[in-house]
Every structure is written in C-alpha cells, then in structure tokens.
Amino acid sequence: MAATLNNATTQEEYDAAATLESAAGVTVNFVVSNAAVFYQLKVQVDPTLADSAWEWGDEIFCPPSFQSLNRLTNGIRFRSANKELPAQVTAQIITQLDI
C-alpha cells in the first residue's frame, strides 16, 4: 500500500515531520510548493542483494514543482533550501502492489 506525507512543512535540517519511509517503493511522486527544497532518497547499498542495507543517498536540489521518479526506494526526506523560506511538501511512495 502506498505511503503518504501530506502538506509537511520543511525545516533547515532534515526532521521526522518531513520524512516518509515505507516498504520498498518503485515510484515516488511529490509536490513542492512555494519554496525550493533539498531532498534525499533512501536507497539500497547493494541492490543485487535482497537483504542489502538501506541508506540516504545524495542530496538533490528541487525548485517548487511536481516530480515523479521511478526509483527503488523505501524513503524520501526534505529540508528547506533557504532556511528563511520553509516549503510545503506532499509526497507518496508507491509500491509494486499499488500499480
């Protein structure tokens, strides 16, 4: 079942309120409103191993927009790109069973 983060407000640092984790997803959709953010996807260290550990990947800049990413991930987190301008973020991780 898809996991959803609804209208979270970003902070200067990553925090639990703007983090979404779930079972392994195959698509991540998100909307960033009103201000730019940085985000990270949680990815497998070695995707060839079924029991491989997961860790936060590279930080990626994103202006206000809608994004749909086809990625194997079990988490996404957001932080403000400008500490004085928090963004509103809605995200969903979609699993293979949801498709």
* pLDDT 10s digits, 32-78: 999 999 999 999 888 778 778 899 999 999 999 999 999 889 999 99
Report the chain's mean pLDDT, rounded to a whole number: 93
Residue 67 in tokens: 């994004």
Q: Which residues contact 86 (CB under 8 A, 6 or more apart)?
A: 9, 10, 11, 35, 80
Q: What is the pTM of this model?
A: 0.92
User: What is the rounded CA–CA span in Å between residue 12 and residue 74?
Assistant: 23
- Give me 62's structure tokens: 């994103």
